[in-house]
Amino acid sequence: MDKFYIKGGAKLDGEIEVYSAKNSVLALLAASILTDEKVVIHSCPKIGDVYSMIKILQYLGCKVEWQGDSIVIDSSQADKHDIPLQYGQEIRSSIFMLGSILARFKKAKAVFPGGCDIGLRPIDLHLKGLRELNVVVQEQGANIFCNGENARGKKIHLDFPSVGATENIMLASVLIKGKTTICNAAKEPEIVCLQDMLNKMGAKVSGAGTGMIEIEGVKKLSGTEFVPISDRIVAGTYIIAAAMTKGKVHIKNCRPNDLYSLTSKLNGVACDVLASDNDLLVKGYDRPQSVLTVETLPYPGFPTDLQAQMLALQTISQGTSVVVENIFETRFKHVGELIKMGAQIVVKDRYAIVRGVQKLYGCQVSAYDLRGGASLVLAGLVADGTTVVNNVRHIDRGYFQLEEALSSLGGCIKRV
């Protein structure tokens, strides 16, 4: 079980390039089974969730191989339509496969994906959407059986702009007769990225990034090559790391507009942020001021996936901050670990009140989930002494060699 040893105090300095977004690549891998022609997805991170998704595709009969950092998928021999328990419960994004398997094979079997440490993670919106498309969905225990023989396009309203449910319905409807409209759709950049690849494959999808997505079903999709968008959450993690360590970091191949909800809060308060088309230059302040309130919301609101990292910054900022986690029920597991390091935080339901302290102190802490683990690494970079972060397998699910990236910027961190 790998750990990170981090010696605090170094100011990050240098430049770093951001790779493709985990939450794009996972959806694009699900989409690759919609065609029996070759699909190539470039600049993919070699991270846990991507490997898990590849295992599912290979189980279904797809040939999948890495060529450098590109993933080449040939689904021509795919002949299974079920996602077995061990894979389905390994990663949440296995549920996206439901829509694409249904579209390809007109039937599918999946399992309720495991909830993880951030919340219940229900899939009622996914199943409601599929039923609206006239898919027969039967829930038997942990199993979900779907029959899409008579599926057809429909106007669907999502009670919540769920990212996964939006993607699942998009994937399920690109190959069925008629027009599907998703109202109150998620607007995340990863949804636009999925639309772009589907259209490159011959689909007719429009409106992604707005609350209203329209899909005209087509008969067939062709193979394609595609470069996903860069990872806004990884980029946001680097921005916060630069601010926390009072460093100066040039972040390349990022999309500043995707991160405006973060940079607009930090610029002039915790750091200076200079943005160009695909780059950001972040210069940290000697004493960052607290950001009074941070509320996680669906895009373009502040991303829940940066809540833990932002909270870590607030622990050493001057003043008091209120962090509200509106998206997931239990996404404060990192708070107890930060308190061990000397942070002053009170949690009440979805609210965390953070009073900034001058100093954090290195100690043994444990990651309980992906982004919470990242927040502990950031805290370790500024803490007095050495911090040991246990269970880094959680971090490896969503960050490619985070310790290498931070070391390349002068951070004293190593994996043991």
Per CB under 6 A, residues contacting ligand EPZ are: 22-23, 26, 92-93, 119-126, 160, 162-165, 186, 304-305, 327-328, 370-371, 398
Whole-number minimum distance, CB 327 to ligand EPZ, in Å?
5
When CB distances to ligand EPZ are compared, the closest residue is 164
Of 23 and 100, CB closest to ligand EPZ: 23
Residues 6+ apart with CB under 8 A from 76: 36, 37
Beta-sheet strand order (sheet of 364-366): 364-366, 386-390, 4-7, 412-415
**Cβ proximity to ligand EPZ, 12 vs 27, nearer residue:** 27
Shortest distance, position 185 Cβ to ligand EPZ, whole Å: 11
Q: Is 127 or 291 the residue whose CB approaches ligand EPZ more closely?
A: 127
Closest distance to ligand EPZ from the beta carbon of 77 (Å): 26
Q: How far is the CB of 130 from ligand EPZ (least distance, A)?
A: 11
Q: Which is nearer to ligand EPZ, 55 or 121 (CB)?
A: 121
Task: Give the separation between CA 61 and CA 63, rounded to whole angstroms.
Answer: 7
Catalytic residue among 116, 193, 254, 271: 116
- Cβ distance to ligand EPZ smaller for residue 271 or 370: 370
| Residue 237, CA atoms < 13 Å, CB-side half-sphere | 32
Rg of the Cα trace of the chain? 21
Q: Quote the tokens at residue 36.
A: 């029996």
Q: Which is nearer to ligand EPZ, 4 or 299 (CB)?
A: 299
Cα distance between residue 310 and residue 291, in whole Å? 9
Shortest distance, position 350 Cβ to ligand EPZ, whole Å: 11
Spatial separation of the C-alpha atoms in residues 360 and 340, rounded to whole Å:
9
Q: What is the rounded distance in angstroms from the CA atom of residue 210 to the CA atom of residue 8?
A: 42
| 271: annotated active-site residue | no
Alpha carbons 102 and 135: distance in angstroms, whole number? 9
Q: In angstroms, how far is CA 376 from the centroid of its own chain?
A: 18
Q: How far apart are CA 64 and CA 209, in angstroms?
A: 30
* Residue nearer to ligand EPZ on the CB measure, 23 or 314: 23
Task: Tell me the catalytic residues.
Answer: 116
